[in-house]
Amino acid sequence: MSEQGIETVLFAQSILAADVASGLAARLEAGLNWQLTDIAADAGTLVGRQSALGDSVVVEVGWRSTPRLGLFRAGALDPVEQQAAGTVERFEPQLREHSLAAEMVEQAHAEESGPSIEDADVIVAGGRGLGEPEKFALVEELAKALGGAVAATRAVVDAGWYPYSAQVGQTGKSVSPALYVACGISGAIQHKVGMQGSKTIVAINKDPNAPIFEFADLGVVGDLHAIVPKLTELLQARKS
């Protein structure tokens, strides 16, 4: 890597990428910063930004030497068109025997219908305020009426109400849609860090003191079981 003049290697966070990055860091005795949300040149070196202390603060992190390795939090950056032309070089690795000891037996993908939460422009998210797993249908119907995707909090994912692939937050995905509608979600810091990049946040919660109202652009205080179906009905009527 050093022969080729490679100074920085960045990965998009996934289980496989974390595995490869940490192995590479050990092999190269290189520094690895993870959960990065941004990176910028500063006085001739690179400085990363990372969430810390349970996502309550953002800290700047650096590397003492090269190569620098970094893992980016999924969904942290929007793709941007670049003027500079890049080149792709094919690399043929020379694998040693111990690197071939593990064998991929099967790779499976969860069946998904509709847009994924990472790509969706509109997300309707459900939390414990739904009361029971069956009530996720309300969130799904509103998402369908808006042409959006469904997300969930960790509380409902842990309770088995919705799959982990839909979890937004510190231990889930980071999303930044144009519209994020939070239904029955308190707005805990660990959820906020995953969706605070949304352009417009609408919160429906029966508790006027719920923390989500501190950062929502539009707040509706009331029972979601009455409000969400009505909203879906109005949207469907407007469409037809």
Ligand X SMILES: Cc1cc2nc3c(=O)[nH]c(=O)nc-3n(C[C@H](O)[C@H](O)[C@H](O)COP(=O)(O)OP(=O)(O)OC[C@H]3O[C@@H](n4cnc5c(N)ncnc54)[C@H](O)[C@@H]3O)c2cc1C
Sites of contact with ligand X (CB under 6 A): 54, 127-129, 153-156, 167-172, 184-186, 188, 190-191, 194, 204-207, 210, 223-225
Distance between CA atoms of 161 and 93, rounded to whole angstroms?
A: 43
**Minimal distance in Å, beta carbon 227 to ligand X?**
8
- Residue number, 20 or 221, with CB nearest to ligand X: 221
How far is CA 222 from each of CA 84, 203, 216, rounded to the nearest angstrom?
Answer: 51, 10, 15
CA distance 111 to 108: 9
Is the CB of residue 220 less than 8 Å from the CB of residue 204? yes
Nearer to ligand X, 24 or 206 (CB): 206
Choose between 42 and 223: whose C-beta lies nearer to ligand X.
223
Q: How far is the CB of 143 from ligand X (least distance, A)?
A: 16
Distance CA 97, CA 117 (A): 39
Which residue lies nearer to ligand X by CB, 39 or 157? Answer: 157
Give the angle 235-239-240 at the CA atoms, nearest 5°.
120
> What is the number of the residue whose Cβ is closest to ligand X?
169
Min dist CB 207 to ligand X, Å, is 3
Locate 54 and state its tokens: 């349970």
- CB closer to ligand X out of 67 and 129: 129
- Least distance (Å) between residue 76 CB and ligand X: 14
Q: How far apart are CA 196 and CA 182, in angstroms?
A: 12
C-beta of 155: minimal distance to ligand X in Å? 3
